[in-house]
Amino acid sequence: MASKSVKEKVVCIVGLGYVGQSLAKAFSRHLSTIGFDIDESKVISLNNFQKKFQSTTDEKEIFKADIVIICVPTPITSTNQPDLEPIEKAAISIGRNLKTGAIVVLESTVYPGLTEEVLIPLLEQNSNLICGKDFFVGYSPERINPGDDEHSLDTITKVIAANENNTLETLMEIYSLITTVYRAPSIKVAEAAKVIENIQRDLNIALVNEFAIIFHKLGIDTKEVLEAAQTKWNFLPFVPGLVGGHCIPVDPYYLVERVQRIGYHPQVILAGRAINDSMPAYVADMVLKGLIESGKVVKEAKVLIMGLTYKENVTDIRESPVPYIVKTLKEYSIAKVYGLDPYLNSDIIMKMDVIPYFAESEKVDAVILAVPHKQFKNLKISDFINMMNDPGAFVDVKGIYNSSDFKARGIWYDRV
Ligand SMILES: NC(=O)c1ccc[n+]([C@@H]2O[C@H](COP(=O)([O-])OP(=O)(O)OC[C@H]3O[C@@H](n4cnc5c(N)ncnc54)[C@H](O)[C@@H]3O)[C@@H](O)[C@H]2O)c1
């Protein structure tokens, strides 16, 4: 029987979260696409969105696929160890339903070696097929950036790798249907490239956060220093702030764990993590200082946190730094902590251990602009004054306002 042309291939996306949905939408414009997820609500919400797309919770449907693409989460445990359960369970489901000749591609962010050391053995054990003979494997890391309209799946170059040349050619052709592709020399190279992209970002933010801590101690305005330094052509334009989400604060631990297993203890990577993890408490300390310097009684103070998601203009609260700010404020016996976020409903806000804030809520003594969503950017200083009892404290985490404008109105102002 002649082998199928690329246009005839059936794709199955395993894991229909943020990444999986984007891929399902992109592939189903060109190829017959199946979406498999264990979460029924995801499957129901996506069914019939495209003629060529069908979603299911029935793992047997995977058997129809020529290309199976895995987009399941790669979280960490409470002790910062990689939690491979979602990948292992997905591999078992796929193995049980793998068609001879199929290609399995992992897109989840992992440490170098995981595809070959963890995924392939589980696929072989559960399918009784042999990798490289009966089925083939590739790796293509996902780079999409939530809340960023400029860098979407179709505009980002996609790194593609496989453990065998024909598979690599097929994957290059398939992924070329949806975006620009880059041929990586091996699966390990592609896995390592993805994880260091996120580690580099984490460390660059950690470095400017450390600058911010240093300049606060020296009484110098960090924003002004960075603006001056950025006039040099090769000074990187990172800004201090909070680091959240299920990628940047999580992915470094995948590489750390893998290399610790062979006796190397990364120092720079973990130092960056430690600094970024300390920033929520640093912000809470700023508020405390602001309240005291504004003459407020800490035990009676009410604080409003604006922006609760892990970053601007997204609905995702996973690994949001805000609960850590709240925890520290509560340790300081702050009377009440309110939360306001245009992307979240009151139930979710309450789950973050804050009281939902409405226009008619009582006035507060301090405001933390933690995440400057676009809806907040039009607010004027008078809007913040209207939220406050009398001039209180304002912590502008990302430094989007001019400090002098606040100070001129009698408000204590600081930024990270
Ligand atoms: N979200 C991003 O911006 C982004 C960007 C680049 C890379 N990544 C990486 O891509 C991967 C997926 O991220 P995401 O944001 O799409 O995650 P997500 O949590 O939004 O979605 C994961 C989906 O997988 C499903 N799932 C879990 N176990 C499953 C199983 N055994 N079988 C089938 N489905 C299963 C879940 O129900 C969920 O719908 C992660 O490794 C992440 O680090 C994410």
What pLDDT is attached to residue 123?
A: 98
Beta carbon of 142 within 6 Å of any ligand 1 atom: yes
What pLDDT is attached to residue 2?
A: 62
* Ligand 1 center to 318 CA (angstroms): 12
- For 366, phi then psi, to 5°, come to -150, 150
Q: Whose CA is nearest to atom 37 of ligand 1?
A: 39
233/25 Cα distance (integer angstroms): 39
How many residues are listed for the chain in this entry? 416
pLDDT, tens digit (0-9, with 9 covering 90-100), for 47-70:
777 889 999 999 999 999 999 999
52, 81 contact by CB (below 8 A): no
pLDDT, tens digit (0-9, with 9 covering 90-100), for 301-330:
999 999 999 999 999 999 999 999 999 999
Q: Whose CA is nearest to atom 32 of ligand 1?
A: 90
Extract the tokens encoding 5.
Answer: 């042309």
Residues of the chain with pLDDT > 70, as a percent, come to 100
Beta carbon of 23 within 6 Å of any ligand 1 atom: no
Beta carbon of 90 within 6 Å of any ligand 1 atom: yes
Does the pLDDT of residue 289 top 60, yes or no? Answer: yes
Return the closest-CA partner of residue 121 out of 225, 113, 333, 375.
113
Extract the tokens encoding 325.
Answer: 């700010």
Q: Among 72, 139, 250, 311, name the best residue to mutate to test ligand 1's pocket (greatest count of ligand atoms within 8 A of Cβ).
A: 72
Domain residue limits, the chain: 7-185, 278-414
Q: Which residues are catalytic?
A: 247
**Fold equal for 7-185 and 278-414:** yes
Beta carbon of 35 within 6 Å of any ligand 1 atom: no
DSSP H or E segment with residue 270: helix 268-293
138/116 Cα distance (integer angstroms): 10
What pLDDT is attached to residue 102?
A: 98
* Ligand 1 center to 45 CA (angstroms): 16
* Ligand 1 center to 16 CA (angstroms): 7
Three-class SS state of 170: helix
The residue type of 88 is E
The residue type of 153 is L
Does the pLDDT of residue 112 top 70, yes or no? Answer: yes
First to last CA, the chain: 65
Return the closest-CA partner of residue 114 out of 70, 77, 79.
70
Beta carbon of 19 within 6 Å of any ligand 1 atom: yes
Beta carbon of 42 within 6 Å of any ligand 1 atom: yes
Average pLDDT over residues 236-250: 96
* Ligand 1 center to 75 CA (angstroms): 9
Average pLDDT over residues 270-291: 98
What pLDDT is attached to residue 158?
A: 97
* Ligand 1 center to 412 CA (angstroms): 42
Domain 7-185, CATH 3.40.50.720 — does that match?
yes
pLDDT band (50, 70, 90) for residue 397? very high
> Environment class of residue 280 by beta-carbon count within 10 Å: exposed (0-12), middle (13-18) or buried (19+)?
buried
330, 359 contact by CB (below 8 A): no
Beta carbon of 69 within 6 Å of any ligand 1 atom: no
**pTM value?**
0.95
Helices (H), ranges, 219-250: 222-229
Helices (H), ranges, 332-408: 346-351, 381-387, 403-408
* Fold of the CATH domain 278-414: Rossmann fold (3.40.50)
**Which atom, in ligand 1's list, is nearest to the CA of 90?**
31
* Ligand 1 center to 15 CA (angstroms): 6
Q: Among 18, 61, 74, name the best residue to mutate to test ligand 1's pocket (greatest count of ligand atoms within 8 A of Cβ).
A: 18
Does the pLDDT of residue 1 top 80, yes or no? Answer: no
